[in-house]
Amino acid sequence: MLNPYQRTALEVEMRSLELMLRGILRSMQSPPENGLLTRVQPVPSYQREQLTRLIPALLAEIEAVVREFALQPQELDLGRQISAEMSGAWSDLNEVLVAKLKRYGRVDPRLRRTLDPHIRNMIRMALEAANPGPGTQHEEA
């Protein structure tokens, strides 16, 4: 019924939706903590009630599609996922080095001494986290 490309598209979308829904459930059960640059607002009760009703129904629909079309699960390698995310962080951090900040206007020359060392240190650690292996662990002093 589905050609291989259609099957792959359907599997990818169902997998993505399932991961998102399960992530929402985890966040509602155990909300993320406030961070240094993020303040987490709780889910309003009306939305929580709605999501509590809709998410299981959505997961049931996904399950029905999986069964009806014999979709196959994909193994999620958390180590590789973390490496990919850290590679993305490494790339993004390169975009806030002083040399790149010039795109947004004149840059105070002192930033090369104050900001860049922090960003370069984070770049180094993100790259290390993206490429785990013996001898690459960041040791704490």
How big is the CA angle at 53 (ends 73 and 47), to the nearest 5 degrees? 110
How many residues in the chain?
A: 141
| pLDDT over 70 at 127, yes or no | yes
| pLDDT over 50 at 112, yes or no | yes
pLDDT at 141: 34
Cα(11)–Cα(104) distance, integer angstroms: 41
Q: Is the dihedral of CA 61, 67, 68, 72 positive or negative?
A: positive
Residue spans of the domains in the chain: they are: 4-68, 78-130
Would you place residue 133 in the very low, low, confident or very high pLDDT band (cuts 50, 70, 90)? confident
pLDDT at 111: 97
